[in-house]
Amino acid sequence: MTKLTFVAFDGTRFDVEAENGSTVMENAIKAGVPGIEAECGGACACATCHVYVDEEWSPAVGEPQAMEEDMLDFAYDVRPTSRLSCQIRVSDALDGLTVHIPERQG
Ligand code: FES
């Protein structure tokens, strides 16, 4: 199991034990983290699972693929550490990952 931390826009922290191979988005939905809508169910087709990867974790998480980058154009308040959480797969390398939830989606 890999530990993930979601920080909601109001500062509330959600610590989650995530299974390797699942996506960060799936774990946010399961834990009821407010602000993650994931309307397309993880198909990289809605941009409502937008998160900001904690700066410290950005190198480990890596850059978005071209398709994700195109979808990010539809997200609200995109920043250099923006990612679509359905496109981040949980692995041991991400143990302790922290992501921040934007003020709103879309
Ligand atoms: Fe739709 Fe991530 S859930 S793009």
Tell me the pTM: 0.97
Q: What pLDDT is stored for residue 106 in this prediction?
A: 81
Q: Is residue 31 part of a domain?
A: yes
Torsion of CA 100, 102, 59, 16, to 10 degrees: 30
Q: Is residue 41 part of a domain?
A: yes
Q: Is residue 84 part of a domain?
A: yes
Q: How far apart are CA 69 and CA 8, in angstroms?
A: 23
Could you give the strand order of the β-sheet that contains 13-18, starting from the edge strand earlier in sequence? Answer: 13-18, 2-7, 97-100, 50-53, 82-84
Q: Is residue 106 part of a domain?
A: no
CA of 11 to the centre of ligand 1 (A): 23
Q: Where are the alpha helices (DSSP H) in the chain?
A: 24-30, 58-61, 66-72
Overall domain count for the chain:
1
What is the domain range of residue 51?
2-100
CB 26 within 8 A of CB 42: yes
- Span 8-64, pLDDT tens digits: 999 999 999 999 999 999 999 999 999 999 999 999 999 999 999 999 999 999 999
Q: Is residue 85 part of a domain?
A: yes
- What is the CB < 6 Å shell around ligand 1? 25, 38-40, 42-49, 71, 84, 86
- Span 63-91, pLDDT tens digits: 999 999 999 999 999 999 999 999 999 99
8: domain CATH number is 3.10.20.30
